[in-house]
Amino acid sequence: MADYKAPLRDMRFVLNEVFEVATTWAQLPALADTVDAETVEAILEEAGKVTAKSIAPLSRGGDEQGCRWDNTAVFTPDGFPQAYKTYAEGGWVGVGGDPAFGGMGMPKAVSAQVEEMINSSSLAFGLYPMLTSGACVSINTHASESLKAAYLPKMYSGEWAGSMCLTEAHAGTDLGMIRTKAEPQADGSYTVSGTKIFITGGEHDLTDNIIHLVLAKLPDAPAGPKGISLFLVPKFMVNTDGSLGARNAVSCGSIEHKMGIQASATCVMNFDEAVGYLVGEPNRGLAAMFTMMNYERLGVGIQGLASGERSYQNAIEYARDRLQSRAPTGAQAKDKMADPIIVHPDVRRMLLTMKAANEGGRAFSTYVATQLDIAKFSDDAAARERADNLVALLTPVAKAFLSDLGLETTVLGQQVFGGHGYIREWGQEQLVRDVRITQIYEGTNGIQALDLMGRKIVGSGGAFYTLFADEIRAFIASAGAELAEFTKPLGAAVDNLDELTAWVLDRAKANPNEIGAASVEYLHAFGYMAYAYMWARMAKAALGKESQEDFYASKLGTARFYFARLLPRIHSLSASVKAGSESLFLLDEALF
């Protein structure tokens, strides 16, 4: 496996040249005095070093060794505790955290780059700080001031970790079916009882305490999802002076034996009248949890991107070194017995598909992160509302499309290696196994597609979509003739999605099955169109600079490949959507 190198040049390009984020930050008073170019550059540089040197070398050994469960205790692989300490001491857990409680206060557009680096280094390792950061978002947004003061500083510092406890054995996506109960106590606390499964980082040896955010139902709660509350349940009780007290009645019953992310502890967690504290309002727990989950869903998409980036770095090094056959046009390396496989058209197809997906995904995730920053920090109500609506529309696309392409790119990277890609020592098969979970957790990609199609498109009457489409058309209108090779096919892709959106909105009026039948292919058509917008913006930033740096020539060549070979996928996807739902219901259940 190639040594991981953070793609800092491309991150700088996206932040500074494509989106000019410093201009956006200057218009957000909460960020204007916090973020500057020098600080961001230092953060990216240092994050690149710590992830490449301290964490990436642990990835394969962590996969081989995995986590170990012993009588409710969980032990992470060798090297993980020390690496986590190094990561935490650098302030990386709290990079996007509230400065009032010890966080760095960086915008999401910056923390998104750090997330990519940590997950490229080791997806399993990256899950621990990711869950902690997400839990902090919910606590900071919804918890009382006393809970914030007691828990956030230690979580931002990395001394304590966080987990998100939603799923139960009988209740996966349908959280309204959960059975975990919370009983109010005289002192204002609650006792929480129930069992949760698939809990990432529910127990481990990386931190002194773990703070669980647990969905549960109060005794008088209404049925279904409207009766869910959110509780903060610490592994160890916290004394008034901030020191740790007695062990709470929460324990790990076992850890799952999984396809991938072996170094991430995926736990069964038992709560046996554990002491907990209400976060937010009673029966409004899903709203509080979704504050965390929207950040996490973008983060999961970034995990797909990160895995694809690591796979590409491995594959391009291998393709330059591996000698097999001669180029179709004749020998290229005449002093060698064969040519490097990068000369072959199909290998180039695979490498360019990976490169285009990764760089398009980096731009798109940064775009969504920037909208999150505007929604959070802007003092302009109209700007906040617009950004909120774009985030609502694009979050399911970011989660599902980036992770779907993450699997495609890791499989392509494995394929570049041929038989060696199937062998564990090269690392490519681990990336395939690890990234597979990203299509499943934080809401399966089918659920993301249904959310996009049902809630965000049909639910808004197409208004959220129009907001995004109008922005793209404004970009096309403002572009010069020199960008026509990119803006013309981009405009056609928007027109196609306009038509597809109108088709589904019309058909769904008479047949609700059309929403679910169209959703996955629609999301993918949306994703390819959104990436085309990103690639057009990147082409605009690179055009005319080809002679200055090879980077820009590479960027433009990849953009042309994207428009020529990947964007046309929208046509088959659109045909599938317009085939309608009828063929899905031709078979009675017994005929399957």
Q: Which tokens hold the place of 7?
A: 């793609």
Task: Note whether 265 and 131 are within 8 A (CB).
Answer: no
**DSSP secondary structure of 233-293:** EESEEE-TTS-EEEEPSEEEEEE---SS-TTS-EEEEEEEEEEEEEESSTT-HHHHHHHHH
The answer to whether 442 is a known catalytic residue is yes
Q: What is the DSSP letter of 172?
A: S
**DSSP secondary structure of 369-413:** HHHHHHHHH-S-HHHHHHHHHHHHHHHHHHHHHHHHHHHHHHHHH
Question: How many CA atoms are closer than 13 Å to the CA of 419, on its beta-carbon side?
Answer: 0
Q: Which helix (H) or strand (E) holds 209?
A: strand 209-216
Select from 448, 447, 445 the least CA-distant residue to 436: 445
Query: What whole-number distance in Å separates Cα of residue 165 and Cα of residue 159?
Result: 20
Task: Note whether 417 and 318 are within 8 A (CB).
Answer: yes
Q: Which helix (H) or strand (E) holds 142?
A: helix 123-142
Query: What whole-number distance in Å separates Cα of residue 306 and Cα of residue 224?
Result: 36
In this structure, are strands 190-200 and 266-279 parallel, antiparallel, or unpaired?
antiparallel
Query: What whole-number distance in Å separates Cα of residue 22 and Cα of residue 479?
Result: 22
Task: Note whether 7 and 316 are within 8 A (CB).
Answer: no
Task: Note whether 424 and 430 are within 8 A (CB).
Answer: yes
Q: Which tokens hold the place of 476?
A: 């096309």
One-letter amino acid at 46 equals: E
Query: What whole-number distance in Å separates Cα of residue 524 and Cα of residue 589?
Result: 28
Task: Note whether 221 and 283 are within 8 A (CB).
Answer: yes
| Residue 484 CB partners (closer than 8 Å, separation 6+) | none
Q: Which of 116, 359, 429, 442 is catalytic?
A: 442
Query: Vertex 162, ends 161 and 164: CA angle to 5°?
Result: 160
Query: What whole-number distance in Å separates Cα of residue 445 and Cα of residue 392?
Result: 15
Query: What whole-number distance in Å separates Cα of residue 322 and Cα of residue 299?
Result: 34
Q: What is the DSSP letter of 77?
A: P
User: In this structure, how many other beta carbons lie within 10 angstroms of the beta carbon of residue 169?
Assistant: 11
* CA separation, residue 488 to residues 182, 475, 481 (Å): 57, 12, 10
Considering Cα of 268, then 270, then 276, then 280, what sign does the dihedral take? Answer: positive
Task: Note whether 158 and 94 are within 8 A (CB).
Answer: yes
The residues annotated as belonging to the active site are 442
